[in-house]
């Protein structure tokens, strides 16, 4: 296996353009490592982004948070500006796996692997984040709904890299909940990311289907309705009824549907508190 470790972004993009599908991007390696160790993939060449300093920045521009693709989960969890400005995001990254995994796993990696049982995608979707993809045709900015197409499938072209994630100013209230059905370091069985602010109410349920689920037509509650326990429960039940949950080792479809009704209700209670 060939190992390419470009020193800057220009070289990384060039390698990606020249080799396309023949080269596999390696960020933190926590997802790839498992696939390779289990013999599920055997890439002929790896493109390590480890030395690309341009992908490591955390900045705030016009109130938007910009995360370079190689920023790690631990950095997001601990960064003082993220903790104060986007506490829900810091929390969603802080509950991923173990500290050892979070120390190397990157924001680019967790979005590009598009694993359905992940924490950050639902949080990013609820916050209205955009992923910036760069390739020979230039930059394009895509929402989480446009980025994640299905199980382990994204819209990233073979000659593109995910270079940055941009998160708009945080809404007034935001909540992230992770429901685990096995060990404390496991991937989620159900996640709920909920926001309420000038843009109204948004609720995204993760880990229950091939991609994060959001039903904006169900979320037309004003602040008064959000304060009403009956309306919160009805909305949670409507979400659970609309979902088509999967069954896997973390829970059956029926179990997930019940958990969803409870977790969405609890998230709405936290928003209203």
Ligand X SMILES: Cc1cc2nc3c(=O)[nH]c(=O)nc-3n(C[C@H](O)[C@H](O)[C@H](O)COP(=O)(O)OP(=O)(O)OC[C@H]3O[C@@H](n4cnc5c(N)ncnc54)[C@H](O)[C@@H]3O)c2cc1C
- CA atoms of 195 and 268, how far apart (whole Å): 9
Q: What are the contacts of 137-144 at 24+ separation with CB within 8 A?
A: 139/163, 141/166, 144/111, 144/212
Enter the tokens of residue 146: 């446009």
How close are the terminal C-alpha atoms of the chain, in Å? 54
Choose between 100 and 220: whose C-beta lies nearer to ligand X: 100
Choose between 97 and 272: whose C-beta lies nearer to ligand X: 97
- CA atoms of 143 and 141, how far apart (whole Å): 7
Shortest reach from residue 135's CB to ligand X, in Å:
10
Choose between 184 and 273: whose C-beta lies nearer to ligand X: 184
Shortest reach from residue 96's CB to ligand X, in Å:
4
Judged by the rule CB under 6 A, the positions of this chain that interact with ligand X are 24-32, 34, 49, 69, 96-97, 101, 105-106, 108-110, 112-113, 118-120, 156, 161-162, 187
Choose between 112 and 221: whose C-beta lies nearer to ligand X: 112
Shortest reach from residue 268's CB to ligand X, in Å:
23
Choose between 152 and 197: whose C-beta lies nearer to ligand X: 152
């Amino acid at each position: 296996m060939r190992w390419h470790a470009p020193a800057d972004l220009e070289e990384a993009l060039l390698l990606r353009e020249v080799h396309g599908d023949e080269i596999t991007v390696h960020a933190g390696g926590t997802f790839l490592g498992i696939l390779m160790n289990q013999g599920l993939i055997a890439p002929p060449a790896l493109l390590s982004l480890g030395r690309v300093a341009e992908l490591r920045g955390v900045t705030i521009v016009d109130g938007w948070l910009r995360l370079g693709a190689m920023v790690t989960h631990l950095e997001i969890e601990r960064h003082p500006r993220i903790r104060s400005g986007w506490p829900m995001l810091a929390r969603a990254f802080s509950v991923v796996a173990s500290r050892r995994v979070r120390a190397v796993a990157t924001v680019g990696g967790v979005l590009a692997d598009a694993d359905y049982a992940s924490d950050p995608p639902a949080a990013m979707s609820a916050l209205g984040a955009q992923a910036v993809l760069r390739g020979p045709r230039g930059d394009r900015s895509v929402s989480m709904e446009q980025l994640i197409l299905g199980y382990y499938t994204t819209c990233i072209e073979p000659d593109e890299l995910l270079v940055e994630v941009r998160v708009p100013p945080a809404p007034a209230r935001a909540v992230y909940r992770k429901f685990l059905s096995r060990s404390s370091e496991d991937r989620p069985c159900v996640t709920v990311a909920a926001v309420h602010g000038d843009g109204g109410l948004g609720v995204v349920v993760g880990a229950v289907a091939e991609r994060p689920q959001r039903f904006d037509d169900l979320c037309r509650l004003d602040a008064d309705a959000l304060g009403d326990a009956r309306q919160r429960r009805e909305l949670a039940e409507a979400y659970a009824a609309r979902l088509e949950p999967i069954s896997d080792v973390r829970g059956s479809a029926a179990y997930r549907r019940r958990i969803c009704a409870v977790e969405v209700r609890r998230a709405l209670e936290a928003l209203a508190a």
